[in-house]
Structure 1
């Protein structure tokens, strides 16, 4: 009996020690930096396999975007592509998707745009991207969500040679006259686009108001300012306008832990929320402040340590 009691007590002690050890062990996050963050929580990649012999073909994306590919659209180094093609696409149709993906609604001039949704489209053969210029345009249909009118833009990935991102008027492709102004039809924006890459439906935000430069100091910044999609750096700063889907990233260097908007680009009187967040060495930091833009504005945000779930929830709460 004593041997049994001793064995039982020993077993209970071992189980208890193991349980306590498990409780004290926290799961290790796979997110170590801003790039990991955008890959995990940003817009997911959607992949489709198509055969050139099956074209034309319409692809339906998860959030309502539809892309129709015409026959004889793709070339590789100038030569016609035949056989199997892999289409990769991303949708950024909400404010949270834009921010979590490390993207923005900045015009190339720095003026904020109101996003009505944007996408990224690529086509690959054996893992290599085909020529960006298409021989026949894609027909793209993006949900208008009640908006009557939009303009078409293309993304520029290396603004001012500093690996930042903005939107510009698209040039013509392969002899095609690129459409710019689009009216909604049955609550969809439908248009042709002659290139692969970033495609946006946006209009200018509050363009009649006088403009100013907004400067932001990030206090307690654990890292450096992040570039497009977090490919380098750790810290993002955004202005999100109240009532409009504006995601203006403030990224122009202005000193240590300081960034500014493009000069004289932010509308005076605009109301919204200024946010900053950072991911460094697996730790999360966040700050926010309600602001009204004034002339020659200087603001500061003080980052405090947070969690992945809290940062994600704060950003998701910005959706309109």
Structure 2
């Protein structure tokens, strides 16, 4: 009988403990980790659009007179008299010029204007830039055409001095808003090409849009591919991965191939020098701000780098720009 009483007491105590531990007022429940919601394509691209809009230089001139425009950095653009048309007819009256100039990796990153050049075999490789430029002319919001070559004169000291290997490139933007440069070979007489005279690059542009003074990066070391794994929820539409080559402040590589199975970006062309010291940069958006992380790396054969959510920090556009500008 005593044993039955003891058993009853133990059972009663167990029931009290059970119901007490399940009281809704207790805080012993396990709280799941914070769920990270990745941005939309539009939210991420808006950061880059804002960065571009902040550096657009504008001017108005009379179409029939042409223009000689001097940029904030000292670049000269000449559009010659009588060379502008609208719907095939000569343009007269005021027209609006938009001009952008980019010289360093910080601006290349925030505006998503890296220096990736298309090679003859279809692969892409890093270009060293003597300046990236955007030129456009409109009248009352309508696109104007140019019938003769414009002249662009770029001081060589903006990118470290004259380089005889520099060529002229035009920019092509794909469906993911990523930019690739193609060498401009228009005109057997040199029109559309570039030459160096003294401390200036002289180039002749055949059309409006993006133009670059560039040459391919040259490194004789053996080459490899690499892969960069990004946090779950991020992809080619809502984030970007860049490579900053240490010692090359006028260049920026971009990984523009994404593998959904491994959730990773890759450089699959085999153009990365083994032994290269560089910084891998991940950028995305969160609540209207930049979200980013920068990893220093020395390249080994077949490297795979990983960014985790806890690696990412929030900052302004100037924070990101300054972080890249401070790299070696």
The alignment's TM-score, normalised by the length of structure 1, stands at 0.77
2:105 alignment partner, one of 95, 98, 113? 95
Q: Is 1:183 aligned with 2:196?
A: yes
Q: Summarize deviations over 1:37-86 as a string: whole Å, max 9, x none.
A: 2233345111110102322x210111221101101222223322222211
Q: Which residue of 1 aligns with 2:204?
A: 192
Kept in 1: contact 2:186–2:193 (CA 8 A): no
Q: Is 1:135 aligned with 2:151?
A: no
Q: Which residue of 2 aligns with 1:107?
A: 117
| Runs of at least 5 residues in structure 1 that lack an aligned partner in the other structure | 1-31, 226-232
Q: Which residue of 2 aligns with 1:261?
A: 267
Q: Which of these two proteins has the greater Rg computed from alpha carbons?
A: 2
C-alpha distance 262-61 of structure 1, shift in aligned 2 (>3 A) = farther
1:13-24 paired onto structure 2 within 5 Å: none
Kept in 1: contact 2:230–2:307 (CA 8 A): yes
1:154 alignment partner, one of 167, 170, 173? 170
C-alpha distance 180-264 of structure 1, shift in aligned 2 (>3 A) = farther
C-alpha distance 163-98 of structure 1, shift in aligned 2 (>3 A) = closer
Q: Summarize deviations over 1:194-236 as a string: whole Å, max 9, x none.
A: 11111101111125333322211113x55432xxxxxxx3312
Distance 2:84 2:305 in 1: 48
Of 57-66 and 295-304, more deviation after overlay is shown by 295-304
Kept in 1: contact 2:112–2:179 (CA 8 A): no
Kept in 2: contact 1:223–1:280 (CA 8 A): no
Kept in 1: contact 2:241–2:280 (CA 8 A): yes
Q: Summarize deviations over 1:270-315 as a string: whole Å, max 9, x none.
A: 2211111111333542211111222222111234232225434313
Q: Which residue of 2 aligns with 1:314?
A: 323
1:299 alignment partner, one of 288, 302, 305? 305
Distance 1:316 1:240 in 2: 10
How many residue pairs are counted as aligned between the two chains?
Answer: 273
| Runs of at least 5 residues in structure 2 that lack an aligned partner in the other structure | 1-41
1:262-301 paired onto structure 2 within 5 Å: 262-301=268-307
The alignment's TM-score, normalised by the length of structure 2, stands at 0.76
C-alpha distance 293-184 of structure 1, shift in aligned 2 (>3 A) = farther
Of 236-245 and 301-310, more deviation after overlay is shown by 301-310
Kept in 2: contact 1:47–1:87 (CA 8 A): yes
C-alpha distance 176-96 of structure 1, shift in aligned 2 (>3 A) = same
Of 304-313 and 175-184, more deviation after overlay is shown by 175-184
Q: Summarize deviations over 1:125-165 as a string: whole Å, max 9, x none.
A: 1102123xx3221110122124222211110112xx55421
Distance 1:190 1:298 in 2: 42
Distance 1:261 1:216 in 2: 9
Distance 1:162 1:96 in 2: 20
Q: CA RMSD in A?
A: 2.3
Q: Is 1:78 aligned with 2:99?
A: no
The alpha-carbon deviation at position 95 of structure 1 amounts to 1.5
Distance 1:206 1:180 in 2: 21
1:214-225 paired onto structure 2 within 5 Å: 214-219=226-231, 223-225=234-236
